[in-house]
């Protein structure tokens, strides 16, 4: 089968599953290798921002710029992949990730905060593409296999945690300029990814004839679908709160007297908790339903905030960040499964693009708020800032939980 075939061409079950598994394997490897750059950047991004920024309130602004780049590129990138295929879109995004890391390294060398922000913005294009890995896993998967395909791809993040931790420790201290060689390693990861995607076998949709009506429902009608809206809200809240707390964690820990290595270990544990459950999340979704798993994820995120507010011992950081990762996994994967079941295949590009615009728009606001809450919340100490970060979770958990309850209680269409 070629990359130009039409989605939906009937195939025998055997060839269809072989293609689905091939694509899942490629995407798992991409998640494991290329995906390592995101925990690496989130571990050092705030610390590098604090080093370069003229104002500590802007320490997490580089991370916010990554998320902004992801939000701005989500819809254009989704549309590009709808027209030209997943392979081309992912390779362009890997090139952007390579360029972003190179610019960030140059910024560290020159001590330029502005240049560092530019590199972070470009990195956001890669981050946006990584968010589409989970959708790409369902493109050629039979319906019953789709939740497991999503889970397997997300589970590739488990390996990415080990790759990230190893590279962080390997590159730490190699240069007199902190974090310089870390970005050099990220350039290499993206180069490997560009070659990996040559093995992807996901057919492109057939181009629409000139003047033909748009396929599927109009966007306005799509956004009146309660299941789609609630899925987007829950995905946005799960991802935004995870980012809000994770971005602040290295700053909070260093401010509370722990060193960067300990902060890296806590983030590593968090990333493990994000992806280890993916081995069985798909099974749980098939058995109990996506809505129940999303609800469980929101409850676990609430527990993460409660543990963080109870103290700033090393154990509190570990337990809170582990719960944060687990809650994100159930909330985000569950919401992805809800969304995948709520739209037609021909609506894929528009729905997924709008979804990731909403998700990463929320994550941008969360990461932008993170530095202000952490460093400029009124009391200039790390513990007060850390408490402010975790208290900020409450209204968003109420929003997502209320939306999910409303969806569950509303009458079903006959």
- Work out the average pLDDT over 271-280: 83
Q: Provide the pLDDT for residue 361.
A: 78
Q: Provide the pLDDT for residue 345.
A: 64
Q: Provide the pLDDT for residue 349.
A: 66
CATH number of the structural domain spanning residue 38: 1.20.1250.20
Which range has the top average pLDDT, 37-51, 116-130, 151-165? 116-130
Distances from the Cα of 122 to the Cαs of 1, 69, 299, in angstroms?
Answer: 33, 6, 34
Contacts of residues 180-187 at CB distance under 8 Å and 24 or more positions apart, as own/partner, are 180/105, 180/108, 180/109, 182/40, 182/44, 183/101, 183/102, 183/104, 183/105, 183/108, 184/101, 184/105, 185/40, 186/37, 186/40, 186/41, 186/97, 186/98, 186/101, 187/98, 187/101, 187/102, 187/105
> What is residue 11's three-state secondary structure?
coil
Residue 1, pLDDT > 50, answer: no
Q: Provide the pLDDT for residue 268.
A: 84
Binned at pLDDT 50, 70 and 90, residue 393 comes out as: very high
Q: Is residue 2 part of a domain?
A: no
Taking the C-alpha atoms of residue 49 and residue 107, their distance in angstroms, rounded to an integer, is: 11
Binned at pLDDT 50, 70 and 90, residue 408 comes out as: confident
**What's the token pair of residue 162?**
């080990």
- Work out the average pLDDT over 216-238: 83
In whole angstroms, how large is the CA radius of gyration of the chain?
Answer: 20
Q: Provide the pLDDT for residue 215.
A: 61
Q: Is residue 266 part of a domain?
A: yes
% of the chain residues with pLDDT over 90: 33
Percent of residues in the chain assigned helix, strand, coil, to nearest 5: 80, 0, 20
Locus of tokens 């970005």: 183
pTM (predicted TM-score): 0.72
Q: Is residue 69 part of a domain?
A: yes
- Work out the average pLDDT over 293-301: 95
Among candidate residues 104, 128, 108, 106, the one with its CA nearest the CA of residue 118: 104
Q: Rounded to the nearest 10 degrees, what angle do helices 37-52 and 61-84 cross at?
A: 140
Q: Provide the pLDDT for residue 212.
A: 44
Phi first, then psi, for residue 54 (nearest 5°) are -75, -10
Q: Is residue 8 part of a domain?
A: no
Residue 136, pLDDT > 80, answer: yes
- Start-to-end CA distance of the chain, whole Å, equals 39
Q: Is residue 210 part of a domain?
A: no
Residue 378, pLDDT > 70, answer: no
Q: Provide the pLDDT for residue 4.
A: 37
Q: Provide the pLDDT for residue 208.
A: 56
Query: Angle at CA 351, nearest 5°, toward 350 and 354?
Result: 85
Residue 166, pLDDT > 60, answer: yes
How many distinct structural domains can be found in the chain? 1
Q: Provide the pLDDT for residue 380.
A: 55
- Work out the average pLDDT over 130-145: 80
Taking the C-alpha atoms of residue 24 and residue 37, their distance in angstroms, rounded to an integer, is: 20
Q: Worst-scoring range by mean pLDDT, 104-108, 209-213, 363-367? A: 209-213
Q: Rounded to the nearest 10 degrees, what angle do helices 37-52 and 86-110 cross at?
A: 30
Q: Is residue 7 part of a domain?
A: no
Q: Is residue 153 part of a domain?
A: yes
Q: Worst-scoring range by mean pLDDT, 198-207, 300-309, 320-329, 333-342? A: 198-207
Taking the C-alpha atoms of residue 35 and residue 123, their distance in angstroms, rounded to an integer, is: 12
Q: Provide the pLDDT for residue 176.
A: 83
Distances from the Cα of 153 to the Cαs of 24, 178, 302, 332, 333, in angstroms?
Answer: 6, 32, 26, 13, 11
Among candidate residues 275, 309, 260, the one with its CA nearest the CA of residue 134: 275
Q: Worst-scoring range by mean pLDDT, 3-17, 103-117, 124-138, 390-404? A: 3-17
Q: Provide the pLDDT for residue 207.
A: 58
- Work out the average pLDDT over 279-308: 91
* Alpha helices in 172-289, H assignment, sequence order: 180-196, 219-222, 226-255, 260-275, 278-288
> What is residue 210's three-state secondary structure?
coil
Binned at pLDDT 50, 70 and 90, residue 182 comes out as: very high
% of the chain residues with pLDDT over 70: 90
Q: Provide the pLDDT for residue 114.
A: 93
Q: Is residue 384 part of a domain?
A: yes
Q: What residues make up the domain containing 177?
A: 16-205+219-409
Binned at pLDDT 50, 70 and 90, residue 151 comes out as: confident
């Amino acid at each position: 089968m070629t990359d130009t075939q039409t989605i939906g061409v009937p195939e025998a079950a055997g060839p269809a599953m072989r293609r689905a598994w091939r694509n899942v394997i490629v995407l798992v490897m991409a998640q494991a290798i290329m995906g390592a750059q995101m925990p690496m950047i989130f571990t050092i991004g705030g610390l590098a921002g604090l080093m370069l920024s003229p104002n500590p309130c802007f320490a997490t602004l580089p991370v916010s710029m990554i998320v902004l780049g992801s939000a701005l590129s989500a819809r254009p990138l989704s549309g590009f992949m709808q027209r030209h295929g997943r392979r081309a879109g992912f390779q362009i995004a890997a090139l952007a990730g390579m360029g972003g890391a190179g610019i960030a390294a140059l910024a560290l060398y020159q001590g330029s905060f502005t240049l560092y922000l530019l590199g972070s913005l470009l990195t956001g294009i890669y981050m946006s593409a990584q968010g589409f890995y989970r959708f790409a896993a369902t493109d050629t998967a039979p319906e019953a296999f789709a939740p497991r395909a999503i889970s397997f791809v997300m589970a590739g993040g488990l390996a990415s945690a080990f790759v990230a931790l190893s590279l962080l420790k390997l590159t730490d201290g190699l240069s007199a300029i902190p974090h310089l060689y870390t970005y050099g390693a990220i350039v290499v990861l993206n180069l490997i990814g560009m070659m990996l995607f040559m093995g992807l076998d996901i057919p492109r949709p057939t181009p629409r004839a000139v003047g033909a009506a748009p396929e599927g429902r109009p966007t306005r009608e799509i956004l009146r679908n309660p299941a789609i809206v609630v899925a987007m809200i829950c995905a946005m809240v799960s991802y935004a709160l995870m980012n809000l707390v994770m971005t602040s964690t290295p700053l909070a820990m260093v401010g509370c007297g722990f060193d960067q290595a300990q902060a890296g270990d806590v983030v590593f544990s968090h990333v493990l908790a994000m992806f280890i459950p993916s081995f069985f999340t798909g099974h749980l979704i098939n058995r109990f339903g996506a809505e129940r798993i999303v609800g469980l994820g929101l409850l676990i995120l609430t527990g993460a905030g409660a543990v963080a507010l109870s103290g700033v011992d090393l154990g509190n950081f570990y337990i809170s960040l582990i719960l944060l990762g687990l809650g994100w996994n159930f909330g985000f994967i569950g919401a992805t499964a809800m969304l995948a079941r709520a739209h037609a295949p021909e609506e894929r590009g528009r729905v997924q693009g709008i979804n990731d615009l909403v998700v990463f728009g929320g994550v941008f606001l969360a990461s932008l708020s993170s530095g202000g809450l952490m460093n400029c919340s009124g009391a200039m100490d790390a513990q007060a800032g850390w408490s402010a970060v975790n208290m900020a979770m409450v209204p968003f958990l109420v929003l997502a939980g209320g939306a999910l309850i409303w969806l569950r209680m509303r009458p079903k269409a006959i």
